[in-house]
Structure 1
């Protein structure tokens, strides 16, 4: 009985830890930014449990669903190249 209770408690704790709130973001860089910096940022998001949803061709950047905790490190990685991270949201004209 005790083993079953501890197992259920462990599963619940693991589920809560892996279901962090993810933000839809757009990350963009100036054109002179090396591709390695962009790839490093994408890999950091994937390693943190995020998902790259789109890679842009006209601008250097990508869209992703990312845990909030990794955004600060992605911002720091691109600091020399002025990485812009913004929340992806619907824009309309009224």
Structure 2
């Protein structure tokens, strides 16, 4: 199993647009065979424009395939236009 934890800061005023994109991506990603879970999160009682993705995939190959899907590519292109800076991405695996 491989887990992805990604953080992004959305340009103020673009939060709803981001959440629409992120929720659509999460829904389509959950339909992929090798997806274990896919969540969009925010830190309770903190900044309203910082969001996180928490994903679990069966293995690295599954994640690589996911990153080539049309829904992923198009969403990331759109998200990159409304975030401040870059996505901060961390990969984790079971030990």
TM-score (norm 2): 0.51
Q: Is 1:62 matched with 2:41?
A: no
**1:15-94 correspondence runs (5 A):** 22-31=1-10, 32-33=14-15, 34=17, 35-49=19-33, 50-52=35-37, 54-58=39-43, 59-66=50-57, 67-68=62-63, 69-73=65-69, 74-82=72-80, 84=87, 86-89=89-92
Unaligned 5+ residue runs, structure 1?
1-21
Q: 1:23 to 1:89 in 2, by over 3 A?
A: closer
* Cα displacement string for residues 23-70 of structure 1 (whole angstroms, at most 9, x for unaligned residues): 311234432352110011111221113133654213322201132211
Deviating beyond 3 angstroms after TM superposition, the runs of 4 or more aligned structure 1 residues are 27-30
Higher relative contact order (CA 8 A, sep 6+): 2
TM-score (norm 1): 0.52
Q: 1:54 to 1:29 in 2, by over 3 A?
A: same
**Aligned-pair Cα RMSD in Å:** 2.9
Say how many residue pairs are matched: 69
Q: 1:40 to 1:81 in 2, by over 3 A?
A: same
Relative to total residues, which structure has the larger helix share, 1 or 2? 1
